[in-house]
Amino acid sequence: MASSWPGNRQPTPPDGHSRHIDDAEKGLYSSTETLPVLPPLAFLDKKPTSPRIQTLAPPLSPGTPVSPIHSGLSPLPSAPGSSLSLEKLAIQPCKQEIYHCENATLPLPPPAAATAASAPPASKNPSPPKRKVSRWVLFRLWMHTYRKFFIVVVALNLTGIILACLDRFPYAKDHSGALVLGNLLCAVLMRNELFLRFLYMVAIYGFRGWAPLFMKLWVTSALQHVGGIHSGCALSGAGWLVYKIIDIVRHRSVQHNAVIATGIVTCSMVIISILSAFPWVRNNHHNTFESYHRFIGWLGLAATWAFVVLGNVFDVKAGEWRTDAHSLLSVQEFYFAIFLTIFVAIPWFTLRQVPVEVEIPSPKVAILRFNRGMQQGLLGRISRTSVMEYHAFGIISEGRKASCHYMICGVQGDFTKGLVENPPKMVWTRELKFAGVGHASAMFKRGIRICTGTGIGAALSTCIQSKNWFLIWIGSDQEKTFGPTITGLIHKHIEPERMILWDSKKRGGRPDTVKLLQETWDSFGAEVIFITSNKTGNDEMMQGCRAAGMHAFGTLWDF
């Protein structure tokens, strides 16, 4: 799912735009410009100054450093004696309407600092040579917690299947159905909104006060990569199901044809559902993935119930059907099937059609406003229909007591394009929101939230609701592109010394992000960095942070 640094638009997939749930945290929908890299960044000068205009002289050479801080920002308070000279703001009247939440009117934000009239426009600079990254760093980033979880889960189950085939695992011979459903139940739990919110709550309140930093980092990594357990258990469940079907077919002389038929149908449904979730299918034919994974999965659940009931009601030894309920209530498979059904159904019980107001600050972005305040670090799924084409976006909110929250939808595919061309009055959404890795930010004392483009949608709430988080937002012509509502929220709730807004259009390109992160890390005293960007930017920052010893959590990508 590679895309260029916040700019190069990817072609719309053949079946329309719709991406994996984690796309809301990737900042894919950035500006349409290609943004070259600026020269390395300088440290802050040490002479305190008051905000005023200072026109920077052009660099003497391509390697001459320039200030890393966006125009219009105050000095970082945690950097002793540091200061910045600011360009004079050219105030332009804003003609766009700002949405008003009850008891929380958003003021007109100060516009982005304009280049002084006498200063020439920023020139684009050639990209510097790519940093060399050691193979050890690259391997550690490749062997992340997702893959570790997947390998451990699959290895344990594969060992069990081999032992069962060698008649060394008696439990599996008698309860292979329980192993199938146990794995599938675990896979469903790892993608269940309610269960994940519970895990995050336990982690935040259980580790925030006393746990050392390394433990918080490990817990955060585990929460972010539970998808490895989801994939591993789903694949293992299919493996155990194949083992069970082969065993039934081998003893078909004593089995009823109905049991064999439902077993084969169940196995086929589960395998199709798993194959449809492979990364290549998700990335290139996402609507196909969603349709097959959801509807074939539901049919597979129905077939599972038939298989469980028929398989346990038929008496193999007597060759007849048992009519007493005890034969069904006494087996583990029955209870696994009950809990599997409950956790599949829970999110759909929270499905509602809700009113939405759409602001279109530019042809590239739609800002959706919903009622109700939210915690930070959450994602919401929305759709124009009740069961199809759900798209996830980061939620921006001033807090749980606020009267509204927002989603930023960058225009890239059919769905988001439709939000601009034909703004809806109502959309379908699940009231139970999904927790992203940003939700774990409450565990840490101080941190940095860096994002590009529409990644601000997943990052902004963390910095609004916590004074201990520093915002770095890199984008092209941010105020014009995202409008007064978003910039108003930023300037209302985040102090100038707690943010860097880098307008790549005015500055002639993006910054050296690793250098910028290193300086902010040192001056702000951060413990952790959360990154929301596209793949190129994410890889660059993750590699640089790992090499520099900064703890960072990047955007999730399909593995």
**Phi–psi pair at 434, nearest 5 degrees:** -90, 135
Establish if 514 belongs to a structural domain: yes
Distance (Å, rounded) from C-alpha 38 to C-alpha 45? 19
| Number of domains observed in the structure of the chain | 3
Comparing CA positions, the residue from 152, 186, 191, 348 lying closest to residue 277 is: 191
**Residue 39 and residue 175 share a domain:** no
pLDDT at 254: 87
Instruction: Tell me which of 310, 327, 349 is where a domain ends.
Output: 349
**Residue 168 and residue 269 share a domain:** yes
Specify the residue for token string 């719709």. Answer: 18
pLDDT at 129: 58
**Residue 167 and residue 289 share a domain:** yes
**Residue 462 and residue 431 share a domain:** no
pTM of the model: 0.77
**Residue 338 and residue 276 share a domain:** yes
**Residue-number span of the structural domain to which 339 is assigned:** 145-190+226-349
pLDDT at 135: 92
**Residue 359 and residue 340 share a domain:** no
pLDDT at 253: 86
**Residue 320 and residue 233 share a domain:** yes
Give me 78's structure tokens: 């945690």
Burial-class residue 93 by CB neighbours within 10 Å (0-12, 13-18, 19+).
exposed
pLDDT-flagged residues of the chain (< 50): 1-122, 559
**Residue 530 and residue 399 share a domain:** no
Distance (Å, rounded) from C-alpha 83 to C-alpha 71? 12
pLDDT at 283: 79
Specify the residue for token string 């298989």. Answer: 307
Establish if 524 belongs to a structural domain: yes
Establish if 480 belongs to a structural domain: yes
**Residue 324 and residue 175 share a domain:** yes
**Residue 321 and residue 173 share a domain:** yes
**Residue 183 and residue 294 share a domain:** yes
**Residue 451 and residue 424 share a domain:** no
Instruction: Tell me which of 322, 349, 376 is where a domain ends.
Output: 349
pLDDT at 542: 96
Instruction: Tell me which of 419, 435, 451 is where a domain ends.
Output: 435
